[in-house]
Structure 1
Amino acid sequence: MAARDLNLAIGQGEFLSFLGPSGCGKTTALRMLAGFETPTEGEVRIAGDVVNDQPSFQRPVNMVFQSYALFPHLTVAQNIAYGLQQKRPRPARADIKARVAEALETVRLEGFQDRRIWEMSGGQQQRVALARAIVNRPRLLLLDEPLAALDRKLRKEMQIELQDLQRSLGITFVLVTHDQEEALSLSDRICVMRNGEIVQIGSPQELYDHPATRYVADFVGTSNFFEGRIASKDGARAGLGLEGGQVLSGSCGPGLNVGDRACMSLRPERIFLRSEAGDAGHPVTVQNRIFLGEHTEYLVTSETLGQVIVFAPRQTEQEGLGYNKGDTAWITWRDDAARILLSEQ
């Protein structure tokens, strides 16, 4: 997918992510920064310099690929040194050796310099790829889904290491990923993309708590959606009229007017599952229960709301407040937990 109408400034030392599904244009945006693609119009500037006509090898940019693209016939040290050896004029041998040692120390691979790539684990290979990129001291480091090949536990460990590395080096990192958890955990800002365009830019918390569209609310995290029409609007608050006549209130996104088709977004962890009705509770029947360690996921059914996903914290289960399939319960939520957004056709 071609990227279009991209107007974006990335700060020095920022960790920015392009997030979106396959084919949304995020990799094209990354390739334009790298110099592998040339924009048909507009400018790409790095440190204030226009680089549209500058080939990739002349840009102060390095890239870590999803497949790592390491040379299997070379040692770890030779892989890391490769970029330095291609520079003209070529740095002195002692300088190359010192910078390779510094890069190895940075990614915590001291003592591995003589290993072959095929002797390294997936996480270690990923660190070698990072070391090969940072040894050139680029202004901009591009990461094309670099953690996709790792298992879940190792991916989490590498997310922490990547964030620590970026902060210690002060280099601007730009990440491309379709993994929302990866983008949320690593980024200072996230660009959510769709059909070649940036839909919303913001910090992870801004995108999660205040999505501008249903697409963003659905792609960033998990959410329940209730469809209806805007029954009332008062500043940043709105009432959503459901088909059965019930009105739900919440904060509202931009571009909403009375009578518009809209939906309410409600995060599963913001919903309380109770054994008693309480104030304004919605009666539900438990359809399914999945224990996930840190929380339990419930699928419940309401006559007015339909199916609703609820995340109950571990403490609730430990206090004996869990539910089984077929149990009757009530769901409630705080008024500030719900966000009303324009429905997307």
Structure 2
Amino acid sequence: MGPASLDFIGVTKRYGAVTAVDDVSFRCEAGSLTTLLGPSGCGKTTTLRMIAGLELASEGKILIDGKDVTHLSAAERDVTMVFQSYALFPHMNVLDNVMYGPRSSGIGKAQAAEMAREKLGLLGLSGFESRLPSELSGGQQQRVAVARALVLEPSILLFDEPLSNLDARLRRKVREDIRALQKDLGLTVVYVTHDQEEALAVSDEVIVMSNARIAQKASPRDLWNAPANLFVADFIGDANVVDGTIASVAGETAVLDLAGASVEAPARGLTPGPVKIAVRPDALRLAPLEAGDAGGLTGTVRTASYLGKHMEYEIETPLGELFITAPADGDEVGVGAAVRLLPKGHGIAVIPQ
């Protein structure tokens, strides 16, 4: 069976008096990678488990390729999950771990071994068949878990925080492997993480969840450039959320007044008046405040931290304290310095809600 679409229609999940998922609706297209992103307790893992059939919805419908699977068990859905813990059998070698699914489904040993070797080859694990999980690195164990999930060629593949047990460098490599595999095989993947960078890097679309509901569903670029509300603006990318004013609107462009600094940004359907504005840390450039400078946004450097490839600054301004990043290859601005903050032409967005 090929990749399938997924639809949630008004899905709610309750545990007694606690509502873990509240009236959630979304669609994942066949062959896409959709990430559920949000802080702990927002409902993303419960949503994933309802897709898998490990939890049943209290209300609403779940459709896979248009078929209502709301009340079907996990075994009756063509869906597999890669768990955070990998859940490999420690006493079985790599080949037997990957063969386990086909063998449990009644497939003969020779055919199951052939299926397992094919998926291990796809994941660069040929030659590892006889090793035990304890003889593998964390990244190799993760790939075995993916091979085991893929071996029966499910219509939807689920990942539950798959990189949380890996170090930072390996996380980047394995997430690239997962994304490349998903594209090469045309898989429908639903992926859960609390890591914003991970979500932006691997996804066709990201569903940001907050308090059991969807705060925004958008492509990574739209999520970054056009947050739908204060929660998304604050949660994604360390944005500075400040008070400003839309001074005027011409077509789809607004002229914003940020404590005397004039900045253009998409109007997003808003009209002149007070507004909340998201300012990304890299949206403003620091320049020395020279005698005679007038207008614009000015501030004083309160902290300066060197992080190798970039600097991080806390700047006291009329808008409040702003978190600003700058390339580390430029001149470092010292604590106490008076600066002007000049817009770079990106990373500033009005917040419609």
TM-score, structure 2 normalization = 0.87
Q: Deviations over 1:306-332 (max 9, x none)?
A: 2112211244x2xxx221222222111
**Which residue identity lines up with residue 171 of structure 2 in the other structure?**
R
> Which has the larger displacement, 208-217 or 219-228?
219-228
Q: 1:152 aligns with which of 168, 176, 184?
A: 168
Q: 1:286, 1:328 within 8 Å by CA — same for their partners in 2? A: yes
- Counterpart of 1:299? 314
- Counterpart of 1:274? 287
Q: Does 1:60 align with 2:60?
A: no
Secondary structure in structure 2 of the residue aligned to 1:147: coil
Aligned length in residues? 333
Distance 1:329 1:323 in 2: 9
Q: Does 1:14 align with 2:32?
A: yes
Distance 2:246 2:182 in 1: 44
**Which residue identity lines up with residue 31 of structure 1 in the other structure?**
R
Q: 1:329 aligns with which of 335, 339, 345?
A: 339
Q: 1:35, 1:56 within 8 Å by CA — same for their partners in 2? A: yes
> Which has the larger displacement, 161-170 or 223-232?
223-232
Q: Deviations over 1:75-112 (max 9, x none)?
A: 1111111111111xx11222111111111111111111
Q: 2:348 aligns with which of 335, 338, 342?
A: 338
Distance 1:55 1:336 in 2: 48
Q: Does 1:43 align with 2:57?
A: no
**Which residue identity lines up with residue 154 of structure 1 in the other structure?**
L
Distance 1:151 1:35 in 2: 31
- Counterpart of 1:139? 155
Secondary structure in structure 2 of the residue aligned to 1:184: helix
Q: 1:231, 1:247 within 8 Å by CA — same for their partners in 2? A: no
**Which residue identity lines up with residue 325 of structure 2 in the other structure?**
F
Secondary structure in structure 2 of the residue aligned to 1:269: coil
Distance 2:209 2:350 in 1: 21
Q: 1:2 aligns with which of 17, 20, 43?
A: 20
Q: 1:250, 1:337 within 8 Å by CA — same for their partners in 2? A: no
TM superposition shift of 1:289: 1.7
Distance 1:117 1:339, change over 3 A: same
**Which residue identity lines up with residue 190 of structure 2 in the other structure?**
V
- Counterpart of 2:218? 202
Secondary structure in structure 1 of the residue aligned to 2:45: helix
- Counterpart of 1:84? 102
- Counterpart of 1:168? 184
Structure 1, unaligned runs of 5 or more: none
- Between structures 1 and 2, the one with greater strand share: 2
Distance 2:250 2:24 in 1: 33
- Counterpart of 2:87? 69
Distance 1:324 1:247, change over 3 A: closer
> Which has the larger displacement, 145-154 or 248-257?
248-257
Structure 2, unaligned runs of 5 or more: 1-18
CA RMSD of aligned residues (A): 2.3
Q: 1:284, 1:300 within 8 Å by CA — same for their partners in 2? A: yes
Q: 1:124 aligns with which of 111, 124, 140?
A: 140
Distance 1:164 1:99, change over 3 A: same
Q: 1:250, 1:336 within 8 Å by CA — same for their partners in 2? A: no
Secondary structure in structure 2 of the residue aligned to 1:43: strand
**Which residue identity lines up with residue 335 of structure 2 in the other structure?**
K
TM superposition shift of 1:228: 5.1
Distance 2:184 2:261 in 1: 51
Q: 1:142, 1:175 within 8 Å by CA — same for their partners in 2? A: yes
TM superposition shift of 1:253: 6.7
Secondary structure in structure 1 of the residue aligned to 2:130: coil
Query: Following superposition of structure 1 onto structure 2, how do residues 218-297 of structure 1 map, counting pairs within 5 Å?
Result: 218-227=234-243, 236-237=252-253, 246=260, 249-251=263-265, 262-276=275-289, 280-297=295-312
Provide the identity percentage: 40
Secondary structure in structure 1 of the residue aligned to 2:28: coil
